[in-house]
Amino acid sequence: MVSTGTLHGVGVGPGDPELITLKAMRLISGAPVIAYLAANGRDSTARDIARPYIAATTAHLVIDMPMRVERQPGEAAYDAGASAIAAHLDHGRDVVMLCEGDPFFYGSFMYIFARLAKRYPCRVVPGVTSMTASAAALRRPLSARNEVVKVLPATLPADRLREELQTTESAVIIKVGRHLGKIRNILGLLDLSSRAQVIIKATHEDEVVTPLLDITEDHLPYFATILVYSGTEAW
């Protein structure tokens, strides 16, 4: 009888492969099996980030996620992924699941974790988030002293977004995508447009930073982030 393997949810950071932690690198390079979500069975940013550290002998468990724009993939895909991981764990093989950014900060790992954490040993390795990577890209501190930071998914209703943006010193608006028009309206109403910066692919080779007022498009990529600084620049 073999003892069961351990599932590791490992943050690989925001994009630059050098922004992976030593712990993540050690676990990835020694993993008998790595798992990751792949949109439509193909694309995986997490795998691309981790690529330099994946051994040639490591087995890849690709969790096929039939993605539609801004829709959560179906429960069935997570069920299938969790079962495939469990089969390895049952045979005593550790599985390292690669997660963009941090596994527990708006990550898909939690859906696998929810299915397996009660039955198998699970460990979570935090990673650098795109939130602070975006602040570094902007060369502007996110928060100081007793300032509030809010992380606001652009998918929220306009009323809620307006209320939250009205009462914060800094905001990180994530998942902007096709909600750009809504966000632009709200920031305009609050007179914050000139204080908003758009960051696309922070720390990737093709990182782009643009003031919101210079954006002419109606849409942004799903993973675009807008940082809004409404505080008094106390620093």
For the bound state, the minimum distance from the C-beta of residue 213 to a second copy, rounded and expressed in Å, comes to: 23
Q: Distance (Å, rounded) from C-alpha 8 to C-alpha 196?
A: 36
Amino acid at 75: E
The site for a second copy (CB under 8 A) is made up of 11, 13-14, 16-23, 25-26, 72, 102-107, 110-111, 113-114, 117, 122, 124-129, 132-133, 135-136, 139-153, 155-156, 160, 163-164, 167-168, 175, 203, 235
User: Residue 15: which residues within 8 A CB-CB, separation 6 or more?
Assistant: 45, 49, 130, 133, 201, 202, 203, 204, 207
Q: Distance (Å, rounded) from C-alpha 116 to C-alpha 93?
A: 15
For the bound state, the minimum distance from the C-beta of residue 20 to a second copy, rounded and expressed in Å, comes to: 6
**φ and ψ of 102, to 5 deg:** -120, 135
Task: Closer to a second copy by CB, 91 or 117: give it.
Answer: 117
For the bound state, the minimum distance from the C-beta of residue 27 to a second copy, rounded and expressed in Å, comes to: 10
Q: What is the dihedral of CA 48, 21, 220, 153, to 10 degrees?
A: 130
Task: Closer to a second copy by CB, 26 or 91: give it.
Answer: 26
Task: Closer to a second copy by CB, 72 or 83: give it.
Answer: 72
For the bound state, the minimum distance from the C-beta of residue 111 to a second copy, rounded and expressed in Å, comes to: 6
Q: Distance (Å, rounded) from C-alpha 69 to C-alpha 51?
A: 25
Say if residues 165 and 50 touch (Cβ distance below 8 Å). no
For the bound state, the minimum distance from the C-beta of residue 235 to a second copy, rounded and expressed in Å, comes to: 5
Q: Distance (Å, rounded) from C-alpha 39 to C-alpha 65?
A: 5
Task: Closer to a second copy by CB, 41 or 66: give it.
Answer: 66
Task: Closer to a second copy by CB, 3 or 146: give it.
Answer: 146
The number of CA neighbours under 13 Å toward the Cβ of 155 is 10
Residue of 228, 56, 45, 13 whose CA lies nearest to 142? 228
For the bound state, the minimum distance from the C-beta of residue 144 to a second copy, rounded and expressed in Å, comes to: 6
Task: Closer to a second copy by CB, 91 or 119: give it.
Answer: 119
